[in-house]
């Protein structure tokens, strides 16, 4: 299958990235692999045009049971809802008991709020995907729940990029009490991110998704958009794809520099703690792996899918891309379950608070002696 080949290509590239970070932290190699991902995207777009031509000539036969796909997708969304809710409520409960003493904690609390809000949209989205879902539920999902869902996903991506930049200046380029490390500055950046996202993308999308649907069709959300709404939707897809790839490269660069600094600090202090070095390397790799695996497949597929979606070209290629897009979007959603793991691994104050509250006490205390903290908090 076409979309399976795409995931296979992405997986092969990802597997090749792993030794680069663990062995040498060579950022030029990292950039080459990112470019390879772009090449895969271009190849897919060329294949998409080729298959579309075959479909127009009647040479392509595509039989996809959308009802089965919808049931599987809904089940997968419901499957991650409960653990995501438990994890994010627990993290929020713990973080609210931590004093906000740094910009890192400001951004972290905003990220948890975004993940929790996204979690609350999951059951609505899952229910609307079920075959025979009520038209009213699907209309509500298209206009509000899905828009909030995407808002939270990109807020999460942007905040993770901001956190990596904040850590870079804190650990790699410390300059005393610079404005970027001021609590007021951190709160201002957080508020500005929310306002810009709401004003430039979320609210306009809600307003432009307001047409009355004629029937309960599979492409209900697109039918609810005016022509201006479709053009705006297409532009947003391009803009947010660009934002994602830029942030991916920046996160790779910043955390690579952070890891190098921590390892170099070990060497300068003539520490024999090789276990701490390996833990630092592993943590950096986990952050990058979670970000890449969760979000890259969706952003590779999204552009060619949207090209056909806004043109209302329901060919076999479009059907295959739609299935691939839907499953890669679910993969992106799993990030709301994986973010708490990142908080635990990277934030020493978070682990300490868990220990103080008696949560995972044995695990927290067991690694405290040789752990390197990438947050420097």
Domain parsing of the chain, residue ranges = 2-15+25-44+72-366
Q: List phi, psi (to 5°) of 216.
A: -90, 65
Do 52 and 313 contact (CB within 8 A), yes or no?
yes
What was the pLDDT predicted at 4?
Answer: 44
Q: What is the pLDDT of residue 60?
A: 52
- Find the farthest-apart pair of alpha carbons in the chain and give their distance in angstroms, rounded: 72
Q: How far apart are CA 87 and CA 336, in angstroms?
A: 9
- 316: nearest Cα among 10, 27, 52: 52
What pLDDT was estimated at residue 13? 46
Cα 92 from Cα 347, distance rounded (Å): 14
- Tell me what the mean pLDDT of segment 316-334 comes to: 92
Paired tokens of 81: 């809802």
Summarize pLDDT for 53-91 with one digit per residue, the tens: 444 444 355 677 878 999 999 999 999 999 999 999 989
269-290 tens-digit pLDDT: 766 666 666 677 777 888 888 9
So what's the pLDDT on residue 170? 85
177-215 pLDDT per residue, tens: 555 678 899 999 999 999 999 999 999 999 999 898 877
pLDDT of the residue at 59: 39
Q: Answer with the residue of higher pLDDT: 333 or 343.
A: 333
pLDDT digits (tens, 9 = 90+) for 94-108: 888 888 888 988 999
State the pLDDT confidence band at 173, using cuts at 50, 70 and 90. Answer: confident
Q: Is 225 helix (H, G, I), strand (E, B) or coil?
A: strand
CA–CA separation, 351 vs 47, rounded Å? Answer: 48
Per-residue pLDDT at 294 exceeds 70 = yes
d(CA 298, CA 324) in angstroms, rounded, equals: 8
Residue 50 predicted with pLDDT over 90: no
Cβ(360)–Cβ(88) below 8 Å: no
Q: Where are the beta strands (DSSP E) in 202-241?
A: none
Q: Which two tokens stand for residue 289?
A: 């792996």
The mean pLDDT of 337-359, rounded to a whole number, is 78
> Which residues make beta-bridge pairs with 225?
209
pLDDT at 35 over 80: no
Class level of CATH domain 2-15+25-44+72-366: mainly alpha
Q: What is the pLDDT of residue 20?
A: 44
pLDDT value of residue 145 = 96
The pLDDT of 159-187, averaged and rounded, is 81
Residue 132 in this model has a pLDDT that exceeds 70 = yes
Q: What is the mean pLDDT of the chain?
A: 80
User: Percentage of the chain surpassing pLDDT 90?
Assistant: 43
pLDDT of residue 364: 45
The more confidently predicted of residues 230 and 268 is 230
149 within 8 A of 81, measured Cβ to Cβ: no
DSSP 8-state assignment for residue 171:
I
Q: Is the pLDDT of residue 42 over 90?
A: no
Q: In angstroms, rounded to a whole number, what is the distance separating the alpha carbons of residues 235 and 232?
A: 5
Q: Which of 163, 158, 167 is closest to 106 using CA atoms?
A: 163
What count of residues does the chain have? 377
Q: What is the pLDDT of residue 190?
A: 96
Q: Report d(CA 30, CA 14) in Å as an integer.
A: 10
């Amino acid at each position: 299958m076409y979309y399976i080949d795409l995931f296979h290509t992405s997986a092969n590239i990802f597997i090749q990235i792993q030794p680069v970070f663990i062995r040498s932290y060579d950022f030029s190699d990292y950039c080459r692999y990112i470019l390879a991902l772009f090449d895969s995207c271009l190849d897919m777009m060329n294949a998409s045009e080729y298959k579309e031509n075959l479909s127009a000539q009647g040479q392509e036969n595509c039989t996809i049971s959308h009802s089965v796909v919808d049931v599987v997708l809904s089940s997968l969304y419901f499957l991650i809802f409960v653990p995501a809710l438990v994890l994010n409520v627990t993290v929020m409960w713990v973080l609210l008991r931590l004093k906000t003493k740094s910009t890192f904690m400001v951004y972290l609390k905003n990220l948890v709020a975004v993940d929790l809000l996204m979690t609350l949209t999951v059951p609505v989205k899952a229910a609307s995907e079920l075959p025979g879902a009520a038209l009213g539920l699907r209309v509500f999902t298209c206009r509000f729940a899905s828009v909030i869902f995407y808002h939270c996903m990109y807020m999460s991506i942007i905040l993770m990029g901001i956190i990596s930049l904040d850590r870079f200046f804190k650990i790699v380029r410390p300059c005393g009490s610079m404005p970027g490390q001021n609590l007021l500055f951190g709160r201002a950046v957080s508020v500005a991110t929310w306002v810009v996202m709401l004003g430039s993308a979320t609210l306009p999308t809600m307003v432009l998704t307001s047409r009355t649907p004629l029937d309960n069709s599979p492409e209900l959300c697109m039918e609810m958009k005016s022509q201006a709404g479709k053009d705006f939707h297409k532009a947003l897809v391009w803009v947010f794809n660009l934002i994602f790839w830029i942030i991916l490269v920046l996160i790779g660069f910043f955390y690579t520099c952070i890891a190098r600094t921590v390892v170099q600090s070990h060497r300068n202090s003539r520490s024999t703690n090789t276990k701490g070095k390996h833990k630092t390397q592993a943590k950096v790799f986990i952050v990058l792996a979670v970000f890449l695996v969760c979000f890259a497949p969706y952003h590779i597929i999204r552009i060619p899918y949207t090209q056909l979606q806004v043109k209302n070209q329901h060919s076999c290629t479009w059907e295959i891309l739609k299935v691939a897009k839907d499953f890669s979007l679910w993969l992106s959603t799993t990030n709301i379950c994986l973010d708490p793991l990142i908080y635990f691994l990277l934030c020493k104050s978070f682990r300490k608070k868990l220990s103080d509250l008696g949560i995972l006490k044995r695990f927290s205390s067991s690694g405290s002696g040789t752990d390197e903290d990438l947050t420097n908090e």
